[in-house]
Amino acid sequence: MTISAPHDGTLEYREARPEDLAGAEGIDSSFTTDRTFTVVDTGSGFSIVETPVDPPLRKEFPDDDGEGDGDENGDGDPAGAGTLVAVDGTRVCGYVTTTYQEWNRRLTVADLAVSPDHRGRGIGAELLRRTVERARARGASHVWLEVTHVNAPAIRLYRRAGFTFCGLDTSLYEGTESAGETALYMSRRC
């Protein structure tokens, strides 16, 4: 399906083709933010608080670790898994990769990125909307994702798309370049 997007001309949203993968992998997913979502231990649980940071924080993600083959649950059913791309002319300017777990009917957003020069134009929101449509068509009960607490721009996008916090992990990134960050889990019912 092709739609007209403000300020972009014509964007095409479709399943990724083999020739799209290099363009998707080349998208700069780094960001700069003046806010994070800090996890506060309340003694009987946790609270997540949007917190200003000064100076602004710049985050560059490490190279992809190769995870995600569309059938991580090993049940032989990758339906609902795959990559959707947003293409501006001949250039991939955004993508979302998903996996599906049959046992709990969960569609997982494994990765989402929009090129810096296309951000703020609704591309990420449209990719998420199409992801939820894909989940519904597959019969998923919910869409789930993990995001670092420092990625406030992504968290704001996910919240606008109807995702809510559903958990956290303070140790997920130990031993990685993201050590010290907290993994926040978000979900949206279908």
Which residues sit opposite 2 in a β-bridge?
A: 12
Domains of the chain, earliest start first: 2-189 (3.40.630.30)
pLDDT, the chain, mean = 89
For the chain, the 3-state helix, strand and coil shares in percent, each to the nearest 5, are 20, 45, 35
Q: What pLDDT, on a 0 to 100 scale, did the predictor assign at position 70?
A: 42
pLDDT of residue 189 exceeding 90, the answer is: yes
Q: Which has the minimum average pLDDT: 30-34, 61-65, 145-149? A: 61-65
What pLDDT score was predicted for residue 1?
Answer: 43
Give pTM, 2 decimals.
0.87
